[in-house]
Amino acid sequence: MNGTRVKLDVALTIDSATVLSHTESAVAVIDVLRATSTVSKALHSKASSVFPVSGLEAAKEAAMTLAPALLCGERLGVRPEGFDLGNSPLEYGEDAVAGKKLVLATTNGTKALDRYSDARLLTAASLLNATAVAEYLLSTGRDMILVCAGQDGTFGAEDAICAGMMVERMIKEGVLMTDPAWMALTAYRACRHDLAGSIKKCDHAGYLIEEGFEQDVEYCSKADILNVVPVATVLEGRTAVVRA
Ligand code: MLT
């Protein structure tokens, strides 16, 4: 923990959190399109837990071990054959997931959750629950890293915009921003008057719209509609995300 003022860093790509040690910090993984939006929606719809997994085979194995559990995820944005649910947050209503364990494997978002599973404290944030997670992180009193999951190790603007929104909620408390945190804040302020229109201009949004997921892009652009904070813990010997 920082002895003086709390520091706030943004990793604009998955591996660029260099200023602070993530094992000593409170970390939020952000994958607006769509993994952390899906995690947030699932927990808001009363799923009991979400087990984030990197690979599809690992997901199948986890779902068998954790049975009964729903097998969920995507490759190239689409539900893999034999999976119960894809990665559209709109599929994760109470009727589908309430009271259930979910195993979720996505291309970037759950990989990022896996990558940071040894953080001192790990959460999942999206535009849907940005303020709730920002307030939770601040309440820990720890240094904070907002990790943008992006695409295959590269930058995704929608995640940086979400990080910037969270930074804005946090600077009111007088935390020390790193340069990437300040850049994310600047990006958010440039487009907050039209978040949905701005998110639509991002590369991955364009891909999802072409694949028929425009409704997902619109849904994932809604700020603060879910008052839920997904936090990582260990259940049945595996990393799981549950409601705080
Ligand atoms: C990912 O984890 O890469 C995304 O959530 C992909 C998607 O849009 O389903």
Whether the predicted pLDDT of 3 surpasses 60 = no
For 159-209, the pLDDT digits (tens) are 999 999 999 999 976 799 999 999 999 999 999 999 999 999 999 999 999
**pLDDT tens digits for 88-105?**
999 999 999 999 999 999
Structural domains for the chain: 7-243 (3.90.1560.10)
- Does residue 1 carry a pLDDT above 60? no
What the block records as the tokens of 218 is 């619109």
Q: How far apart are CA 135 and CA 125, in angstroms?
A: 11
pLDDT of residue 173: 67
Q: Which of 10-24, 107-121, 221-235 has the lowest mean pLDDT?
A: 10-24
Give the pocket of ligand 1 (CB within 6 Å).
31, 33-35, 74, 77, 87, 106-109, 208
Residue that is written with structure tokens 């409170």 in the block: 26
Q: pLDDT at position 17, please?
A: 76
Q: What is the pTM of this model?
A: 0.96
The CA 39 to ligand 1 mean position distance, Å, reads 11
Q: Which atom of ligand 1 is nearest to the CA of 213?
A: 8
Query: Mean pLDDT over residues 17-31, rounded?
Result: 89
Give the pair of three-digit tokens for residue 188. Answer: 């958010």
Please enumerate in sequence order all residues whose Cβ is within 8 A of that of 57, keeping only pairs 6 or more positions apart, or say none: none
Query: Which atom of ligand 1 lies at the shortest distance from residue 216's CA?
Result: 8
Q: What's the rounded mean pLDDT across residues 120-136?
A: 98
Angle between helices 130-140 and 157-171 (to 10 degrees): 50
What is the position in ligand 1's atom list of the atom closest to the CA of 204? 8
